[in-house]
Amino acid sequence: MNNLEDLNFPIEKENDEASKYHVPNLERALQMLELLAQHPAGLGITEISNLLNFPKNSTFRIAMTLLNFGYLNREEGMKSFTLSGKLLSLGYTAVSDQNLMEKSLDVMKELRDTVKETVLIGVVIQQKGVVLEQVPSLHSFKFWVDVGTQWNMHTAAPSKAILAFLPESEKIKICQSLEFKRFTSHTIANLNEFYKVLDDVKVKGYSTDSGEELEGMHCISAPIFDRNNYPVAAIWITGPMERLPLSVFSDIGKIVKEYAMRISFRLGYYQR
C-alpha cells in the first residue's frame, strides 16, 4: 500500500501533463503584475528584474507588452511602471458586476422615479464604454439602450464622468487614443477641447452630453467610486432635449451626483 499508483495518486503523470502547458513568459508576466500590485508607486526594469530574478531583456519585453495592452502605466519621461486600472475594470466585469448591480439597482430606480427619465449604469473596459443595465423612463416616449451597447468615449456623458477622475496617466493614455469623429455640430472636435471639458467635469462632479452624438438627445452623468476612490462606473439619465433642456443641467446634475455618491458609499468610498 505504499505504492502511490496503488493509491490512485499519479503524481508524476499530473506534473508531466501540467508541464506540457507551461508558458514561461506568461508566468513571468503574471508574477510581474503581482509584484507591481505590492508597489503602487511603481518599479523600474532593473528593480523588477532583480526582485523577480528575471533577465533584464526579458523583463523589458514583458513590461512593454503589458504597457501596450494597457495593463501597465508609465509616466512621460519616467522609467517606473505601475499597474493601470484595466485589471480593476476587468475584475469588476468578471467578478463584481453582480455586486455593483445589487448595490445600484434600487438607487437607479429611485433616481428614475425622481427625474422620470431612463437611468443607465456603465463602465469603461479596455478604452470602451459599455452599458451594464438600465431602468426605463416613466414617459411613454423614452430612450432605450440595449445592455452591452458600447458608446463613443468623446461624446458620452458617462465616459466623461469616469475619465475626469481617472489617474492622470491613465486618463491621458485613453484620451490620446480617441479619434474625435464628428456626429453633430455639438460634438467635441479635438483633444484640447476635450481636456477642458474633463477639467470642468472634475470641478462640478457631473458631466453632460447635449446632443453630441445624436441630435436632440441629452444626458447627464456622475461617476461611481470604489473604496480606493477609483471611478469604477457611472450612472446617467437620458431623455429628449425638450424634457432635459440645457437650463436644467445644473440642477439635475447635482441630483444625479447625489445618487451616484449613494452607490459609491455602498462600495466603500469615503471622501478624503
Do residue 116 and residue 239 come from a single domain?
Answer: yes
* pLDDT value for 272: 61
Do residue 48 and residue 116 come from a single domain?
Answer: no
Confidence label for 2 from pLDDT (cuts 50, 70 and 90) = very low
Do residue 16 and residue 32 come from a single domain?
Answer: yes
pLDDT digits (tens, 9 = 90+) for 207-218: 999 999 889 999
* pLDDT value for 69: 87
* pLDDT value for 75: 73
CATH of the domain at 260: 3.30.450.40
Query: Per the domain annotation, does 231 fall within a domain?
Result: yes
* pTM for this predicted structure: 0.65
Query: Per the domain annotation, does 1 fall within a domain?
Result: no
* Grid cell listed for 50: 532583480
Among 59, 84, 109, residue at a domain's last position: 84
With contact defined as beta carbons under 8 Å apart, do 93 and 129 qualify?
Answer: no
Which residues, at least 6 apart from 96, have a Cβ–Cβ distance to it below 8 Å?
none
Do residue 129 and residue 71 come from a single domain?
Answer: no
Report the C-alpha gap between 182 and 213 in whole angstroms: 8
pLDDT digits (tens, 9 = 90+) for 238-266: 999 999 999 999 999 999 999 999 999 99
**Per-residue pLDDT at 16 exceeds 80:** no
Q: Which range has the worst mean pLDDT, 15-19, 131-135, 170-174?
A: 15-19
Among 84, 106, 139, residue at a domain's last position: 84
Report the C-alpha gap between 193 and 64 in whole angstroms: 30
Structural domain span for residue 51: 11-84
Do residue 122 and residue 176 come from a single domain?
Answer: yes
pLDDT digits (tens, 9 = 90+) for 134-183: 999 898 887 778 888 888 899 999 999 999 999 998 999 999 989 899 99
**Per-residue pLDDT at 7 exceeds 50:** no
pLDDT digits (tens, 9 = 90+) for 66-120: 998 888 988 766 789 988 867 655 655 554 556 788 899 999 999 999 999 999 9
Split into its structural domains, the chain has a count of: 2
**Per-residue pLDDT at 15 exceeds 60:** no
| CA angle, residues 222, 223, 225, in degrees to nearest 5 | 150
* pLDDT value for 70: 84
Among 51, 84, 117, residue at a domain's last position: 84
Confidence label for 9 from pLDDT (cuts 50, 70 and 90) = very low
CATH of the domain at 58: 1.10.10.10
